[in-house]
Structure 1
Amino acid sequence: MKGKVLLIGLGLIGGSLALAMRRSHKDIIIMGYDVNKEQCRLAKKLQVIDEECVTIEDGAKEADLVIIATPVNITPSIIATLANCTLKENVIVTDVGSTKQKIVKASTILRENGITFIGGHPMAGSHKSGVIAAKERLFENAFYLLTPTDGIPMEKVEQLKEWLAGTNAKFLHISPKEHDYITGVISHFPHIIAASLVHQAEQANNGKNLVNRLAAGGFRDITRIASSSPDMWRDILLHNKDVMLRLLSEWRQEMERVEQLLHEENETGIYDYFFQAKETRDQLPTNKKGAIHSFYDLFVDVPDYPGVISEITGYLAIEDISITNIRILETREDIYGVLVISFQTDDDRKRAVHCIEHYTDYMTSFGP
């Protein structure tokens, strides 16, 4: 395809989309706009975009495709701005927000002007943020949800998918209402639960450090998503308020069920509760990208001596393997420590295993 793309919002998602599109469409020109001018500068320097736009209006009038990659609370105002711009007749406008009903409703003003808007949500992310963390393969094999409304010609949807073909994502069509409920169940609500678990542990700590020390292992892992951006999750929850309230009500009923089982000392009921959860959990797809980004951790048993961390990271650097995080588990009492290294992809983790095994005799595993 040929043409011009206006990318509004030059963060991780927007930048990754730009790199993916450039991979499959060599002749496109990508224009970028961000209120953070440093992000614009970085995007141009990293060749994520070809041109910087001083205003949205400057880029919008030339664009064949407009991608809004801003926080969900800002997207409606961007749509309103676009509605007052002089746009090409055949332009497609889309977004990448993780809530859809309010955004699609706001897009009515575009459709009334004869402009095609197709809501979108690439279900992939990363531990890092900003355009500097952008990856052209971020969305590979991830689900990319599209929420075209009634009246949107299918050829427009197919055209958008062609623009985004370089993502190598799996496109699914879904209604805005169904989108918000499903993502509420598998992404938005789990973030509430993770945050609540952390709050509960902090209250139990009661000024002591023992709870925090013992929580450094599995507890830290199951609550990792609580480290996500508070700004982003505030906006998402407010945008998906009705679904969240419904899920919170259902969660209270679920906890009352568990409470009743405990009051009754119902051994069979408690066993069945965990058994059914295990059966469902074990049937979930493995090595698939979903609404919550995956964590690719490698656990390395290393001897406790000065310089061992720089030794390991040095070997990874030799093989050009990037890491996203590194930490030491403090729950082991023997002479070996456990180094936990996080990677962007499963492929990077597998390469790290071969690298460490090649240069050292340290034991590695995908679990503690």
Structure 2
Amino acid sequence: MNGHVFVIGLGLIGGSLALCIKKEHPDATIMGYDVSEKQSQLGKMLGVIDEIIDEIPKGAARADLILIATPVKEVERIIELLCDVPLKDNVIISDAGSTKLEIVKKAACLKEKGITFIGGHPMAGSHKSGVTAAKSILFENAFYLLTPEKDTRIEDVEKLQDWLMGTKARFLQVMPEEHDYITGVISHFPHVIAASLVHQAEKTSLKQNLITRLAAGGFRDITRIASSSPEMWRDISLHNKAVLIELLQEWQNEMDKVTQMLQEEQEVEIYEYFFQAKRFRDEMPIKEKGAIPAFYDLFVDIPDYPGIISEITGYLAKENISLTNIRIREAREGIYGVLDISFQTEEDREKAEQCIKCYTNYETSMGL
């Protein structure tokens, strides 16, 4: 396919979508806009986009496809702006926001003008942000949810999927309400719970100073999504507040049930509670991408001596294996510690494990 594609928002998602389209449709011209001039310039310099656009109306008027890859509140503002811009009759507009119902409602003004808007949500991400983190492989095998309305033409949905073919994502069509409920359960609500656990630990740490020191291991893992952008999650929470309020009420009922089991020392029920949770969790696909970015961690048992970290990273560099984060979980004099290395993909983690086994005799294990 050829034509002009206008990507609004040159962060991780927008930049990666641009790269996917360039790879699959080399004859297309990729135009890019970002509120940060630096991001736009980096996008052009890195070859993510072909042309920098300094004002949204200029790029929108020329576009055959417009992709809005900004925070959800900004998506609404941009849609309002596009409603007042002269656009091509056959242009398709989509977004990449984490909520859909409010955005689709906002796009009614486009529909009134005969412009096709199809909500979108590529369910993939990374620990990194910005256009420099953009990758054409980011969405491979990830679910890409589309929320066309009932009267959206099938050929328009197919055309959008053709434009996005280079993502190698798995497209699913759902209603906007269904999208927001599903993502509320598996993404938005867990972020609220993770943040609440951190708040609870912080309050407890005021009277028990060991909390901070001992929370450095598994607690960090189960709450790591709480380190996500506060601005982004403020907007998502307000956009999907009805679903979140419903889920929070259900959660309170669930906690009341747990409280009662503990008060009455219901041993069988408590066992079943944990057993059923373990069974359902263990049956979940391990390698499939979901709504929350996966953390591909490799744990390496290492001896405590100077230079051990540079030794390990040196082996990885020698094999051209990129890592996204590295930290020591435990290191005490005279005993083995645990080096926690995070990778962008499952493939990188597997390569790293083979690399370390090749060069050393250190034990390794993968986080699940």
Alignment-mate amino acid for residue 239 of structure 1: H
CA offsets 1:230-285 (integer angstroms, 9 cap, x no match): 11111100110111111111100000010111111111111111111112112111
Matched positions, count: 368
Match of 1:336 in 2: 336
Give the drift of 1:92: 0.1
The worse-fitting range, judged by mean Cα deviation, of 338-347 and 317-326 is 317-326
Amino acid at match of 1:231: E
Secondary structure at the aligned position of 1:310 is classed as helix
- For 1:153, the equivalent position in structure 2 comes to 153
Residue 235 (str. 1) matches residue 227 (str. 2):
no
Q: Is the 8 A contact 2:9 2:68 kept in 1?
A: yes
Q: Which moved more, 1:310-319 or 1:93-102?
A: 310-319
2:167 — aligned with what? 167
Greater shift after overlay, 116-125 or 260-269? Answer: 260-269
In 2: Cα distance, 1:60 partner to 1:198 partner: 42
What TM-score comes out, normalization by structure 2 length? Answer: 0.98
Which runs of structure 2 are paired with 1:96-135 in the superposition (5 Å)?
Answer: 96-135=96-135
Using a 3 Å threshold, how does the CA distance of structure 1 residues 256 and 331 change in structure 2: closer, same or farther?
Answer: farther
Q: Deviations over 1:190-225 (max 9, x none)?
A: 001111111111222225542122222211111111
Q: Does structure 2 retain, via aligned residues, the 8 Å contact 1:144–1:171?
A: yes
Distance 1:248 1:331 in 2: 39
Q: How does 1:67-82 map to 2 (within 5 A)?
A: 67-82=67-82
- Which residue of structure 2 lines up, in the alignment, with residue 83 of structure 1? 83
CA contact (8 A) 1:217 1:331 kept: no
Does structure 2 conserve the Cα–Cα contact (< 8 Å) formed by 1:216 and 1:331? no
When structure 1 is superposed on structure 2, of 330-339 and 289-298 the one drifting more is 330-339
> Percent identical across equivalent pairs?
65
Structure 1 window deviating more from structure 2 (77-86 vs 38-47): it is: 77-86
Please say if residues 124 and 142 of structure 2, whose CA atoms lie closer than 8 Å, have aligned partners that are also in contact.
Answer: yes
Q: Matched residues in 2 for 1:291 and 1:323: separation?
A: 22
Q: Which amino acid aligns with 2:154?
A: M
Q: Please list, as runs of the form range in 1=range in 2, the aligned pairs for 1:1-368 lying within 5 A after superposition.
A: 1-206=1-206, 208-330=208-330, 335-367=335-367
Please say if residues 31 and 52 of structure 2, whose CA atoms lie closer than 8 Å, have aligned partners that are also in contact. yes
Separation in 1, partners of 2:54, 2:245? 40
Q: Deviations over 1:22-76 (max 9, x none)?
A: 1111111100001100000000011000000010111111110000001001111
- The 1-side partners of 2:41 and 2:314 are apart by 30
Structure 2 stretches lacking a partner, 5+ long: none
CA offsets 1:150-174 (integer angstroms, 9 cap, x no match): 2110000000000000000000000
Helix, strand or coil: the match of 2:213?
Answer: helix
Secondary structure of the 1:27 match is coil
Instruction: For residue 124 of structure 1, report the CA deviation from its aligned partner.
Output: 0.4
Amino acid at match of 2:278: K
**2:225 partner letter:** I
Q: How far apart are 1:334 and its partner, in Å? A: 5.1
After superposition, the Cα gap between the structure-2 partners of 1:334 and 1:209, relative to the gap in structure 1 and judged at 3 Å, is: farther
Amino acid at match of 1:152: T
TM-score by length of 1: 0.98
Output the CA distance in 2 between the equivalents of 1:21 and 1:5: 9
For the residue of structure 2 that corresponds to 1:351, the secondary structure is helix
Extract unaligned runs of 5+ from structure 1: none
